[in-house]
């Protein structure tokens, strides 16, 4: 089905676009002479842009449908990526990251709303597979950009090459996206306050995104300073987590169809919590690596299932419901690592990560929300 293929490719585009920025960060730091504190503030612009744009994306998809919102925001991602390489100072880089994050945020909401619609038409679970392509895109984007730079390609030229590849996806797939995400003959008010169920789904996503953010920002620190890994090997924890998550998502639709969404959330959250407990309680490096793999496997399909549940909320536009859930989720990814750092300062990093595990147990107890 062409809409399903187009959806897979736009998830791939989003993953590639977001991850392509990661290898550019050291170049931006060196080019602009930023210290760590200044760089941290500038990098926050990307997340702020995404979270600020997500509610707008819900309105746009409800008003104009998914096709043009995905197409236009996809084009904006292609435009924004090279701008990150030509910023002449921290302020312009912050503005470029704000624009880049906003474009990615709109794509994120619209593609998930579209994925819900495609899933409804297909009559079977498909969301995990779509998110699996996003994870694959993350690996392709970071590795591809790193390979171009290692080969000696100029930074702006590398960004333009990636943008050109993404542009091909947008242009060739635009006409295959479905126009409307609402059920035929059903209309929804854009001003309706999301239900308590939507906010609960958003909170659960916040916890899972917090866990993912903890892995991104703290797994290498934990392996280096708490488990004595060599600095060159400390990044293996996040790599193992990412591969486990990608594999879990690529297999997730089949598993969800077999055991159901409630079991996916309940067992997945417990498995991810077990991973954090295993990594932090047992004082051995291999146990930490195994724990991070369990976190990736357990968390892999929770967010796709929760997004599908948000898109099925009665009387609520899927775009607005998903925008609410996504905004809360990304707020967790933004604020979570800082909260973990503060908690680690007051106690220890191991105890802070155990706190994340406790929150995942709470997610497991609320798994029945995925049935609605």
Phi and psi torsions of 107, nearest 5°: -60, -45
Instruction: Walk me through the domains of the chain, giving residue ranges and CATH numbers.
Output: 2-176 (1.20.1250.20), 196-371 (1.20.1250.20)
Give the dihedral sign, CA 63/206/79/3: negative
Question: What is the C-alpha separation between 354 and 181, in angstroms, rounded?
Answer: 40
CA angle 260, 263, 264 (to 5 degrees): 85
Contact 307, 116 (CB under 8 A): yes
Q: What's the pLDDT score for residue 338?
A: 76
* Contacts of 295 by beta carbon, 8 Å cutoff, 6+ apart: 211, 215, 241, 244, 272, 275, 276, 279
Q: What residue ranges of the chain have pLDDT lower than 50?
A: 181-191
Q: What's the pLDDT score for residue 143?
A: 83
Q: What's the pLDDT score for residue 203?
A: 95
pTM of the entire predicted model: 0.80
Question: What is the C-alpha separation between 167 and 163, in angstroms, rounded?
Answer: 6
Contact 190, 59 (CB under 8 A): yes
Which of 291, 177, 207 is CA-nearest to residue 244?
291
CA-CA-CA-CA dihedral for 201, 214, 137, 169, to nearest 10: 50
CA angle 225, 228, 234 (to 5 degrees): 75
Phi and psi torsions of 366, nearest 5°: -100, 15
Q: What is the DSSP code string of 91-137?
A: HHHHHHHHHHHHHHHHHHHHHHHHHHHHHHHHTS--HHHHHHHHHHH
Q: What's the pLDDT score for residue 343?
A: 87
Q: What's the pLDDT score for residue 91?
A: 93
């Amino acid at each position: 089905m062409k809409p399903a293929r187009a959806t897979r490719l736009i998830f791939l585009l989003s993953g590639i676009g977001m991850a392509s920025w990661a290898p550019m960060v050291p170049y931006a730091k060196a080019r602009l002479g930023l210290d760590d504190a200044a760089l941290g503030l500038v990098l926050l612009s990307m997340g702020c842009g995404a979270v600020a744009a997500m509610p707008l994306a819900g309105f746009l998809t409800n008003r104009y449908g998914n096709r043009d919102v995905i197409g236009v925001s996809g084009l904006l991602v292609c435009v924004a990526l090279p701008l990150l390489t030509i910023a002449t100072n921290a302020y312009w880089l912050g503005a470029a990251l704000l624009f880049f994050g906003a474009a990615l945020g709109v794509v994120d909401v619209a593609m998930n709303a579209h994925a819900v619609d495609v899933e409804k038409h297909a009559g079977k679970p498909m969301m995990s597979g779509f998110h699996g392509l996003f994870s694959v895109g993350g690996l392709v984007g970071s590795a591809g950009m790193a390979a171009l730079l290692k080969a000696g390609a100029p930074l702006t030229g590398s960004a333009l090459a990636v943008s050109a590849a993404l542009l091909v996806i947008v242009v060739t797939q635009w006409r295959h996206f479905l126009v409307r995400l609402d059920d035929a003959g059903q209309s929804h008010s854009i001003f309706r306050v999301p239900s308590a169920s939507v906010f609960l789904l958003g909170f659960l996503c916040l916890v899972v995104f917090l866990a993912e953010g903890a892995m991104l920002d703290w797994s290498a620190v934990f392996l280096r300073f708490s488990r004595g890994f060599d600095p060159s090997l400390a990044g293996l924890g996040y790599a193992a987590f990412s591969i486990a998550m990608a594999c879990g998502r690529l297999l997730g639709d089949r598993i969800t169809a077999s055991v159901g969404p409630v079991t996916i959330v309940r067992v997945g959250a417990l498995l991810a919590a077990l991973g954090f407990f295993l990594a932090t309680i047992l004082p051995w490096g291999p146990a930490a690596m195994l724990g991070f793999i369990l976190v990736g496997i357990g968390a892999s399909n929770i967010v796709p299932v929760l997004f599908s549940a948000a898109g099925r909320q009665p009387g609520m536009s899927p775009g607005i419901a998903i925008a609410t859930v996504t905004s809360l989720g990304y707020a967790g990814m933004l604020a979570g690592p800082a909260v973990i750092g503060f908690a680690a300062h007051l106690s220890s990093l191991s105890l802070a990560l155990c706190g994340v595990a406790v929150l995942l147990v709470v997610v497991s107890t609320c798994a029945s929300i995925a049935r609605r």
